[in-house]
Amino acid sequence: QNILIVCFSVGYSAVALNHVIDFKEKKQEIIKPVSPSELFPSLPIVQGTSKRIKVLTRLTLVVSDPSHCNLLRSTSANIRLYDVIAVYPKTEKLFHIACTTLDVDLVCINVTEKLPFYFRRPPVNMAIDRGIYFELLYTPAIKDSTMRRYTISNAISLMQICKGKNIVISSAAERPLELRGPYDVANLGLLFGLSESEAKAAVSTNCRATMLHGETRKTACGVVYTVKKPRKVEEEEATMPACKKAKTQA
Amino acid sequence: MVRFKNRYVLCEVLSDDPRCRQCIEERAVGLAVRDAIGRVHGDYGLACCSVSFTVKYLNAYTGMVLLRCRKDSYRLLCSALPFVRHLESRAQRYPCALNTLHVGGTIRTCQKFLIQYNRRQLLMLLQNCTNEEERQCIQKSLLSCSLTEEQSQSGDEEDDDGTE
C-alpha cells in the first residue's frame, strides 16, 4: 500500500497490480484479484488534473510448456476479472505462439538472465500488427549490477528487431524506494536504445494503449458494422455476428 | 557569442526515513550522484559529467536539489539519476530515491518551475490538513508566493549569467 502512495505522489495516473502465476507446481488455481477498493477507501486525485487515479489488476503467466496456454482459452471466470494479461515465454516456440495466436496484451521480456533465444523478425512484426506490446522491467537494473547488464543487452537486442515500437517499460517494485518517476523512466529508455520520443511514448501512450487493449479484450465479443445505403428510403443495414440475426425493416 | 551552456536538473529526494532529510547536504548528494554515474557510465561518463558539475541549490526541508552540468553531458547525468540508491554522510547510509522534476537551461526557469510545483504541493496539503490554523497558514503562503528579486518562498539563489 505504501508503494501505491509513493506512485501517486510521484505523478503516475494509472497503476496496475501484478499477480504472477508460475506453472511449475502441479495444480494452480487462478485466484480472484484483489479489488482496489479494499486497499483504499477513496482513491486520491492525480496531481494536476481532477481525475481519480486508476488502479488496475494484472496477471502474469510464466509459461514454459505449450499446455499451459490452454488456461488462457479456458472459460474460467477468474481470468476475466483481470484487466491486463501478460505472458512470460521461456522458449522460442512459446514466444512465437504468444506473439501470433495467444490472446494477451503484453509479452514480458526476461531481463534477469541471458535470453535463451534470439528474437526473430516475423513473430515480432505480427505482434506489432496485432497490438501486443513488449514489456521491460527496470527494477532489477536498479538493484543489481549484473542484472543491469542483462537488462541492457536484452533491451538493445529487442530494439534492433522491433525498432523501438510497441515497448512498455514497467517496474516490478517491491518496495516504495525502488519506484522511479515517469521522467526518470523515460530517461532509462534512452539507455535501452530508444529515441527520446519513443522513450516518452513507452511510458505514456503505449501504456494507455495496453490498457485499452485489455478493455477491448474483456468486453468485445463481436463487431457491429452499420452502413447507410444511398437510397431515398432510409434503411440501415447491419451485419451482426453469427449469434444474432439482423432485423431489417424495409 | 561564445559561452558555456549549462543544463540545470531539478530533483526531489524521496526517502522513507525521516532522518534522511537531516543529512541531505551538498557534498553527500554530489558524491552519491557521481558514484551512480561512475557505476552506470564508467570512467568516461564520470569524467564527461564532472566538467562543470556542482550542486547549485539544496533545500533540506522539502528535499529539492538543483544540479548543474554541461549541455553536452546532461543526458549521461539524467540517465544515471535513477540509479542513486543511498545517501551517505557522517558514516550513515540512508536509502533514498531521486525523482527528476525539470531540466532547464537557466536557474531562473528552474526556479519558476519550482514555484509552480510547490504551489501544487501546498494545494494538495491544503486538502489534507485538518487543523484550522494550519489551513490559514497554508492559504497565506499560497497567496504570497511569487517570483521576486528578493528572497522568495522557494529559495534564494543569484542569477547565473552563464558566462564563465
Q: Average pLDDT, whole number, for chain A?
A: 72
State which of A91-95, A218-222, B81-85 shows the largest mean pLDDT.
B81-85
Nearest to A99 by CA among A116, A73, A74, A121: A121
Q: Does B113 touch chain A (CB under 8 A)?
A: no
Residues of A in contact with B98 (CB under 8 A): 184
At the top level of CATH, the class of B1-105 is: alpha beta
Residues of A in contact with B81 (CB under 8 A): 184, 187
Does the pLDDT at position A213 exceed 90? no
| Low-confidence winner among A142-146, A157-161, A237-241, B144-148 (lowest mean pLDDT) | A237-241
Q: pLDDT-derived band of residue A96, with 50, 70 and 90 as boundaries? A: confident
User: Can you read off the three cell numbers belonging to residue B159?
Assistant: 542569477
Query: ipTM of the predicted structure?
Result: 0.73
Residue pLDDT, tens place only, A142-178? 788 888 888 888 888 888 888 888 888 888 777 777 8
Distance CA B116, CA B119 (A): 5
Residue A51, pLDDT score: 60
Where do the domains of chain B lie? 1-105, 107-149
Residue A221, pLDDT score: 62
Chain B interface, best mutation among A180, A190, A200, by max B CB count within 10 A: A180
Does the pLDDT at position B150 exceed 70? no
Contact criterion met (CB < 8 Å) for A177 and B40: no
Residue B129, pLDDT score: 67
Query: Do B70 and B80 contact (CB within 8 A), yes or no?
Result: no
Does the pLDDT at position B8 exceed 90? yes
Residues of B in contact with A138 (CB under 8 A): 82
Percent of chain A with pLDDT over 90: 0
Contact criterion met (CB < 8 Å) for B99 and A10: yes
Mean per-residue pLDDT, B115-126: 81
User: Can you read off the three cell numbers belonging to residue A58?
Assistant: 494484472
In chain A, what are the domains? 1-218 (3.20.20.140)
Alpha helices in chain A (DSSP H): 2-10, 36-39, 70-73, 77-80, 92-100, 121-130, 139-143, 145-162, 182-191, 196-203, 205-219
Nearest CA in chain B to A191: B79
Distance CA A63, CA A87 (A): 7
DSSP string, B94-146: EE-EEEEEEEESSHHHHHHHHHHHHHHHHHHHHHH---HHHHHHHHHHHHH--
DSSP strand pairing (B64-70 vs B54-59): antiparallel
Helices and strands: H and E segment counts in chain A: 11, 8
- Secondary structure class of B153 (helix, strand, coil): coil
Q: Does B56 touch chain A (CB under 8 A)?
A: no
Residue A183, pLDDT score: 85
Residue pLDDT, tens place only, B34-45? 988 998 889 999
Q: State the amino acid at position A22 in one-letter form.
A: D
Q: Average pLDDT, whole number, for chain B?
A: 79
State which of A1-5, A174-178, A236-240, B139-143 shows the largest mean pLDDT.
A174-178
| Low-confidence winner among A28-37, B74-83, B126-135 (lowest mean pLDDT) | A28-37
Distance CA A115, CA B50 (A): 35
Contact criterion met (CB < 8 Å) for B96 and A177: yes
Does the pLDDT at position A244 exceed 60? no
CB atoms within 10 A of CB A200: 19
Chain B interface, best mutation among A144, A187, A192, A196, by max B CB count within 10 A: A187
Residue pLDDT, tens place only, A59-75? 777 777 777 666 666 65
Contact criterion met (CB < 8 Å) for B99 and A181: yes
